[in-house]
Amino acid sequence: MKLRTVISKIEERIQIHQAEDFDNVGLLCGVPDREVSGILVCHDALENVVEEAIEKNCNLIVCFHPIIFSGLKSLTGKNYVERAVLKAIENKIAIYAIHTAFDNDFFGVNAGICNQLGLKDLKILQPKKNNLKQLTVFVPKEHSGKVKEALFSAGAGSIGFYDECSFTINGNGTFRPIEGSNPFSGQQNIRENADEDMISVIFEDYKKGQIVNAMKTAHPYEEVAYQIYSLDNDNHHSGLGMYGDFEEPMDEKDFLKFVKEKFNLEIIRHSDFNNKKIKRVGVLGGSGASGIKSAISRKCDAYLTGDVKYHDFFMTESKMLICDIGHFESEQFVTQQLFEILSQKFSTFAISKSIEKTNPVNYFI
């Protein structure tokens, strides 16, 4: 199977367009037309992981963190990034990163954390904003079904856990073909009255090109009448962080002990105790201090993340327990999640899970 085919199947499950604008996701190095011999899944595509891929005859590394984040101006092996990339290129190994595309996925990084904690009724902590659009198009009634199918096939009409969502209103449209036109119906210089449906669908903005192309291909008119609007609605099925509830609340210290056990932690940095029960918990894998205010607004009793700075701990205002469990530690389930996803996608394909240590942080206890 060629690399481009493997990538397309991965992206059927993890929408790479969900990634944050600052991120560097997708194929970082490799030739799309090369045959894939095996896949190694890892957290960070460091030099030792590339060596592991060579040993296991895997010429595709699917990693969480992008090894190339900022632009490379040279490849001389002078730092850990260049050494890893050089070794991959020299051994014809492709590297594909998913990072914030999986952070923003409803069943991604943060769902893994919530499932480990046993939280229920999960919701997105910071829903994506300004990425939903609405399309309305006017279609001859007898072609309405064909255009709808084309829109659905292109990805329009998906709302959360529902797809093929649309709304249709029937009405009367008018138009007059003028010189130079080649009308589907009617004659030049004579006003035409047409029995038309107005079809309305919602879609995520990255799908715009494919949806408009599909609509125009299926539509019988020479000039298609349609409008696209940007919506203020938040996308509650894509975004950073999650929150959910325990079935039974627990004391703060018992909660910390529970987290320490579930995540196999040596240490947890936390804010002052508030002497309140922990029922609702917010999570954001990786560097998640930016989600503290959102967690407070969602009335979370505790918030789990990594890389919390000194002054961030003051933000609780005695309303919430902030827990810094470590960057890598908060994302530690990602490799297993990706391994399971790829194993389902490629049941007859060689998928390996990296056993190399890539967490750069160590603790002296």
Binding residue numbers: 65, 103, 327, 331
Binding-site residues from annotation for a divalent metal cation:
65, 103, 327, 331
CA 210, CA 203: separation in Å to the nearest integer? 11
Token output for 63: 């990693």
Token output for 100: 């914030």
CA 124, CA 105: separation in Å to the nearest integer? 9
Instruction: Look at the alpha carbons of 55, 56, 57, 62 in this order and tell me if their dihedral is positive or negative.
Output: negative
CA 128, CA 293: separation in Å to the nearest integer? 16
Residue 298 contacts residue 243 (beta carbons within 8 Å): yes
Phi-psi region of 221 (alpha: psi -120 to 50; beta: other; left: phi over 0): beta
Burial classification of residue 249, based on how many CB atoms lie within 10 Å of its CB (0-12 exposed, 13-18 middle, 19 or more buried): middle
